[in-house]
Structure 1
Amino acid sequence: MQPEIIDVLIVGDESQLAQLHAGLIEEHPWLRLCGIATSLSEARSMLEEKRPQLVLLDNYLPDGQGITLIESELLKSLKCSVIFITAASDMHTCSQAIRCGAFDYILKPVSWRRLQHSLARFVEFNKTQRTWKVVDQQNVDNLYKLQAASFQQDASSKGIEQKTLQRIEQFFAISEDRCYSIEDVVAETGLSKTTTRRYLEHCVDRGVLAVEMQYGKVGHPRRLYRRESGAQ
């Protein structure tokens, strides 16, 4: 049985990060972005209207905390799953999310490949649930394994071309202490924004680059990249 198309709602008020996640969803053949909500109230309206099967949910929103949405009767009535993506590193929030059945809990700054891994597991989890009408213990164990499968960092990645990777790494080798936005790297290398983002996140996963969030007085925080100290 093939997977079914899964509608995904993004809930978060950081526009750059939301667009990053939207790109991942749109690249996946069995995921479909149904909207981006920037507040709890907007999320509730879009949940009722769009009725998604999965929500990528931030905790810190302008009108409250995302954890309250996981606990809500609305989400339960829709049988909608949640991948919690947040800077909330306290055990209380993490425990709440787990108790309320969050499929995954990912801390910011988000690893591109870590989120890819989580989305792929959810697609497989959803397909497996539809395949089995009656379960035995092995089926149950397999479902739990899909939900809890650990993410393994892997230096290799599909779609990564060595010459392009070298261009990115050489750019950052010139100024090790300086931070650059995606737009800075695009202007310097001439690569497309989508390609640049993929290679930057690949370098983050390999430990070559580090991510910093720049919080200004106005607007949303920016995702900046710098060469990791000690990187070869």
Structure 2
Amino acid sequence: MVYHVLIVEDDPMVLSINRRYLEKIPGFVVSGTCDSFDEAIRLTSKYTYDLLLVDITIKGNSGLDLIKALRKREYPADLIMITAAGEQEAIRIGLQCGIVDYILKPFQFKRFQKSIALFLQRQELLHSGSPLTQQQIDQLQSLEETTIEKEEDAIDKGLTPSTLALILECINQQAGDFTVSDITNLTNLSHVSVRKYLHYLESKQVIEMRLEYGTVGRPTAFYRKKS
């Protein structure tokens, strides 16, 4: 079976990563992408998708508004929320709307796979074609309880989601290569702090780094968003 996916994401870098991750998993096809509430409503009115990857921060109304609108219409697709912040209220609303999972960006492929695995398990249980047993219902409830990964486990210790989101926003403003100083000037954070976050993003394969050697002194580290 092939599952058709719509990615609703206004950050081109994150969209590219989500698409690349999804294309690694057999049986999933990115059948549509958009960056706004209105376009998502238009696409879901015209097409039926099996799964939506929705960022909370999109153009127009929020991703949460989109999820609530889809549930009000009883749109049949499952939903995975993706965001740079772990607001409790957003998580609560998402869970009330029956989302499959809620993951914080940036995330590794392994964490993305976990979300897709939860989706597949739900599909298997809810579309088996026969009445569910108590054991299967208990299993489904167990899946619901494990959808939210603790915020402190989502990123390395010493890093905060709010600062990470700020740095990601600054990175998205860069047309090409950038340095630690470029991000420092935009955020007013220390060089040490910025370097720590850039190292983290590099380890998650969100950005890449190269060293440029001059005639004297230390080499300069240049960073770039990974395509």
Contact 1:10 1:36 in 2 (8 A): yes
Deviation at 1:69, TM superposition (A): 1.1
Per-residue Cα deviation, 1:129-156 (whole angstroms, up to 9, x for no partner) = 222411121110112223444799xxxx
Deviation at 1:76, TM superposition (A): 4.2
The runs of at least 4 aligned residues of structure 1 exceeding 6 Å deviation read none
Contact 1:30 1:123 in 2 (8 A): no
Deviation at 1:8, TM superposition (A): 0.9
**What residue ranges of structure 2 are gaps of 5+ in the alignment?**
179-196, 202-227
For 1:16, which of 9, 13, 17 is the aligned residue?
13
Change (3 A) 1:96 1:21: same
Amino acid at match of 1:215: C
Q: Percent identity?
A: 24
**d(CA) in 2 for partners of 1:89, 1:67:** 13
**d(CA) in 2 for partners of 1:206, 1:61:** 22
Deviation at 1:21, TM superposition (A): 0.6
Q: Which residue of 2 aligns with 1:93?
A: 90
Change (3 A) 1:88 1:75: farther
Q: Which residue of 2 aligns with 1:54?
A: 51
Per-residue Cα deviation, 1:63-112 (whole angstroms, up to 9, x for no partner) = 12110111115664321111010123222111111111111111222333
Q: Does 1:215 align with 2:170?
A: yes
Q: Which residue of 2 aligns with 1:163?
A: none
Q: Does 1:64 align with 2:61?
A: yes
Q: Which residue of 1 aligns with 2:193?
A: none
Q: TM-score, normalised by structure 1?
A: 0.63
**What residue ranges of structure 1 are gaps of 5+ in the alignment?**
153-204
Q: Which residue of 2 aligns with 1:84?
A: 81
**d(CA) in 2 for partners of 1:29, 1:37:** 22
Q: Tell me how many residue pairs correspond in the alignment.
A: 171
Deviation at 1:218, TM superposition (A): 4.5
Q: Which residue of 2 aligns with 1:105?
A: 102
